[in-house]
Structure 1
Amino acid sequence: MKKDKLRHGGKCLVEQLAAFGVKRVFSVPGESFLPVLDGLYDSQIENIVCRHEGGAAMMAEAHGKLTGIPGIAFVTRGPGATNASCGVHIARQDSTPMILFVGQIARGHRDREAFQEVDYRAMFAPLAKWVAEIDDADRLPEYIGRAFHVAQSGRPGPVVLALPEDVLTKLTAVNFRSAPAPELPHDLFNAAEKIADRLSHAKRPLIIVGGPHWTAQAARDLEVFAQAHDLPVATGFRRQDYIDNRHSNYAGDLSFGTNPKLAARVRDSDCLLVLGSRLGDVETGGYTLINPDAPGKTIIHVHADADELGRVYRPDLAVTCDAPALISALVAVPGNATEERAKHANADYLAWRAPAETPGDMKFEQVVSGLSDMLPDDAIITNGAGNYAAWVHRYFQFKTFRSQLAPTSGSMGYGFPAAIAAKLENPDKTVVCFAGDGCFQMTLNEMSTAAQHGAAVIVIVVNNGRYGTIRMHQEKTYPARVSGTDLANPDFATLARAYGGHGEVIEKTDDFFDAFQRAQASGKLSVIELKVDPEALSPGLTLSQARAMGAS
């Protein structure tokens, strides 16, 4: 590697990020990485300054999910790193490429429990794909290059790099590395023919699609292949935008609260083509819809990481490649559709999507269904965790790839930071965040970040005055013994206005859509607070019904 001009390690690091095409990073500043902030000062990389390290890490994860390129976050040592760990966990479970840079104490102070000292290799070992501490400024490009490779290879995921203060201040003349060349595609046509043959002999086949690496072209190819071979398609948990939900072969999503008819279809299938998904506990109903010891069906598993094939379910056919590559080969196999399997699966999905009425004047099912019909096809919908998300999964139809950003890890607070990242990356698109009153309060301090950087997202806060998911389980298990699930909430609309945004409180369904149009017209960060009936725990389940189930 040729030598270049002398500059400190922080500037060298920023130059390497720029060489890999990084345009934006998310950070909470800390004295432990001041040289990096100095390097960013006169770079072309935008630094989105966040209010909490958890928010910064979630934004970086959402950026990686949106673009397929590692999202970058910078946080300081000790409490900064521990705060950011929630975003690392999301990236791990969601198979999202991400790199977290953590400031670290000087090398000469290690192992003395110096101020904010943490062993990051030990701390992040179960959460990240790779954790390292860079001990030599001359090796910064090497470590960063490896971090980009590890974050994107096989099953993508998070990488954590610790940056000792004295390494960042040291002068180095090392040159940056160029981005790696793209890999050549494999010839997968023979594998595709074998898979298509297995599917053609099945009586009750089903495609389950999920995991990383998906693309808009893969979504189109999947539609063509499924239609040509009369195959119903189910999407994995929070991967509903992998196929246009209006397509005649769409069978619904495998989430919490899955359509019972779709669950039965998984259980009764005789051949599953699993594209990219790990086939985890949510998709399999806690491993009950498919018995790992005796599946009773042919399983064809396609995944980019060979270690995932056979990890839980032993496949009858296994292909190590990313799902889009396999789909591009499958679409070239001539179709032989002769039955109407997909038609029946789609009919079950459409019947399940018909709104089930909830109590009270605010019908959240009508809000979600109405937005699904009125928003542009490329609108981006985000959410965190909570029972409110069940309405979004069931009633919103995702039309284009990358219109859904939601954590498969089930992390509360994710939706709002993800919406900010999405709006910064796609300023011309409508970005709507659904959040529960408990979920939103996990990260609502990032309203300051949204206002500062001009991220005009629209947040719909579903306020029922409680942690709804936990309350649902509580009523089923310990009926009428409420403990730890009630919430005292602020006036969310007033809080939005305090940040310079637009805010409204809506108590009746008929008032919502005019309020939404006002929020759009404002061109600002907007919060629409929905006062929903506390009886509405989830679609088709009231608090009284949950309590009765527990009592019985």
Structure 2
Amino acid sequence: MTERQDLNTDELSVAAWIARTLKARGVDRIFGLQGGHIQPIWDHAAQLGIRIIDVRDEGAAVHMAHAHSELTGTLGVAMATAGPGVTNCVTGIANASLARAPVLLIGGCTSRPQANMGPLQDIPHVDIMRPVTRYSNTARVPEQVIRELGDAIAHTFGDLSEPGPSYLEVPTDVLRTHVPEHMIPTDWIAPPQTRRVRPETDRVEEAVAAIRSAKRPLVVSGRGARNCGDSIVRFLDTINALYLDTQESRGLVPSDHPSVVGAVRAAAMGQADLVITLGRKLDYQLGFGSPAVFPQARFLRVSDTTGELIDNRRGAPEILAPVDIALDALTDALGNDVGARDGDWLDGLRGKHRERIAKGENNPAPKTGSDGKIHPMAVFEAIKAVADPDYIAVADGGDLLSFARVGLAASTYLDAGAFGCLGVGVPFAVAAALACPDRQVISVNGDGAYGINAMEIDTAVRHGAKAVFIVSNNAAWNIERHDQEFNYGGRVVGTMLRHSDYAAMATALGAYGERVEDPADLADAIKRGLENAPAVIDVVTSQQAVSSDAQKGLGFVPDYQALTAWDDAERKRRELA
């Protein structure tokens, strides 16, 4: 038997310096999957009390770091060994990139003496990661690694570009190299000072003039407006505008605020004459800002990053500043003079919004589909009946996401995002339950999306992540199945699954599992899941319950716009041109 030895005792090795720097930057957990290339960092981090959340797939580790960052406002850190360990992270990093989430991935790579000789798990990680990161580099000089680590972290928070993930790898022989203290300046380790830039006075004056001249103003929030809810409410109360949130900014404004008109989204977008975007890109969810979708609007754009100011439609003006600071400056400058509004338009859309909400409340969603199986909306009705008011909601799926956007009323909400990244539901919820142990976490997943990271239920069990994972088990990739059935001559190919027993799988992994086939049993089952979390509630749902996204053509992928109605409008605009 080989005698036990300790090869990682140098407290001034590069690996030790990395762990100390992460600790100093407030990192209290790392999500990852072990491997020899990263073992020196892994070990030193654990010795310093940084919690290691070991997962079953590296991609899930990145998703967890992403969710941790979103919920805590801090750096999310993932770690993966060389070769397939790093390449398994590409999808998660790409998702964090589109979400502009501050995530740091530390990867392993071969030792310098073995480079370019065909060593184990050697592949150009840096080149692979570069298109989906803000920073991607190999740190080869031992005494410079901590400086480069600081650069990577700075990029994640958008200090040198827009926020988003960074990738840094360090050869294993460099990790073991001794670097004396006098070679590491203390400012490389200490957290940087927070910078809060005030908006330019001229831009504020231009924005005030635009707001005063508007008759039908509409405010739309996004990622860059997170944590700015109080400022947004004060601004809305002042300017008398309508308001729409988006998936990435749910819960900033109370749903009963008079400006909220989510139930008449299309009309608000189509009739507004001034659209004020707050930290929001004009991506496919907002019709790319096209005149076909916003035929009467000029744009006023506010963000702390240029990427959310200049995409697709330019603002007049554009204000580069933190959203809360910019809104407070605008509110103060407007005072009591906000200009004249089209009261009929405001009151009319507010009234229609309230009517539709009331209609939905007075006419509960069907309990079953035409095939007698549970309707997905019944799941959300049951959640509403048993969940705490401040629960954290996670939604994952294609077809199911359309139902979830309407049915999940939580103020804290995460989903597959602009990347449409299926598979985030389980890892996001695991990270949420660990980051917020005093709050209920409920993850609702389509069965297809759930299968991508279902093994992370094991991670939830091992680390005590007390989330409830609800699976809408309709035995299909249903938005694609519907597309095939109605747009491809009824040829349904490769989109059917099975009503697999996900509750039994959960039980085998050590979690609580329960299958539900009667909608009357849903609320009690979810309640038992909350009491025995981590838990999987496997709900046999109907394929015949067609989502609004399927009906609007999202699965079909029209030529110009994501939805067929917008695509038709875009075609008409082009024909006129």
Give 1:348 shift. Answer: 3.7
Q: Secondary structure at the match of 2:524?
A: helix
Matched residue, 2:349 = 345
Is residue 442 of structure 1 aligned with residue 452 of structure 2?
Answer: yes
Unaligned stretches of 5+ in structure 1? Answer: 253-258
Within 5 Å, which residues of 2 pair with 1:120-131?
Answer: 120-131=125-136
Matched residue, 2:309 = 309
Unaligned stretches of 5+ in structure 2? Answer: 1-9, 557-563, 565-577
TM-score by length of 2: 0.86
Paired residue for 1:418, among 425, 428, 433? 428
Q: Secondary structure at the match of 1:140?
A: helix
Give 1:371 shift. Answer: 2.5
Paired residue for 1:271, among 274, 284, 291? 274
Matched residue, 1:538 = 547
Partners of 2:288 and 2:196 in 1: CA distance: 37
Deviations 1:447-503 (A, max 9, x none): 111001100100110011011122122223203101110013531111111122111
Matched residue, 1:334 = 335
Within 5 Å, which residues of 2 pair with 1:12-411?
Answer: 12-153=17-158, 154-174=161-181, 175=184, 177-186=189-198, 191-212=203-224, 214-215=226-227, 218-252=228-262, 261-284=264-287, 287=290, 289-290=292-293, 296-332=296-332, 333-335=334-336, 336=338, 339=343, 341-353=345-357, 354=360, 357=366, 359=369, 360-372=372-384, 374-399=386-411, 402-411=412-421
Give 1:536 shift. Answer: 1.3
After superposition, the Cα gap between the structure-2 partners of 1:525 and 1:307, relative to the gap in structure 1 and judged at 3 Å, is closer
Question: Which letter does structure 1 place at the counterpart of 2:494?
Answer: G
Q: Secondary structure at the match of 2:132?
A: coil
Partners of 1:30 and 1:341 in 2: CA distance: 61
Deviations 1:93-135 (A, max 9, x none): 0111100011001122223342211112210111111101010
Partners of 2:150 and 2:407 in 1: CA distance: 42
Partners of 1:186 and 1:285 in 2: CA distance: 28
Asked if structure 1 preserves the Cα contact closer than 8 Å seen for 2:502 and 2:536, the reply is yes
Give 1:334 shift. Answer: 2.4
Give 1:286 shift. Answer: 8.6
State how many pairs are aligned.
527
Give 1:229 shift. Answer: 1.9
Is residue 463 of structure 1 aligned with residue 468 of structure 2?
Answer: no
Partners of 2:11 and 2:440 in 1: CA distance: 45
After superposition, the Cα gap between the structure-2 partners of 1:246 and 1:396, relative to the gap in structure 1 and judged at 3 Å, is farther
After superposition, the Cα gap between the structure-2 partners of 1:489 and 1:132, relative to the gap in structure 1 and judged at 3 Å, is farther
After superposition, the Cα gap between the structure-2 partners of 1:325 and 1:155, relative to the gap in structure 1 and judged at 3 Å, is farther
TM-score by length of 1: 0.89
Partners of 2:321 and 2:492 in 1: CA distance: 49
Asked if structure 2 preserves the Cα contact closer than 8 Å seen for 1:281 and 1:287, the reply is no
Quick check: 481-490 or 159-168, which moved more? 481-490
Partners of 1:8 and 1:267 in 2: CA distance: 60
After superposition, the Cα gap between the structure-2 partners of 1:370 and 1:170, relative to the gap in structure 1 and judged at 3 Å, is same
After superposition, the Cα gap between the structure-2 partners of 1:187 and 1:484, relative to the gap in structure 1 and judged at 3 Å, is closer
Partners of 1:406 and 1:44 in 2: CA distance: 32
Matched residue, 1:256 = none
Quick check: 414-423 or 473-482, which moved more? 473-482
Quote the sequence identity (%).
Answer: 25
Paired residue for 1:486, among 485, 496, 510? 496
Give 1:343 shift. Answer: 4.5
Question: Which letter does structure 1 place at the counterpart of 2:121?
Answer: Q
Quick check: 374-383 or 364-373, which moved more? 364-373
Deviations 1:493-515 (A, max 9, x none): 11111122111111122211111
Q: CA RMSD in A?
A: 2.5
Is residue 474 of structure 1 aligned with residue 484 of structure 2?
Answer: yes
Partners of 1:540 and 1:182 in 2: CA distance: 41
Q: Secondary structure at the match of 1:161?
A: strand
Question: Which letter does structure 2 place at the counterpart of 1:533?
Answer: S
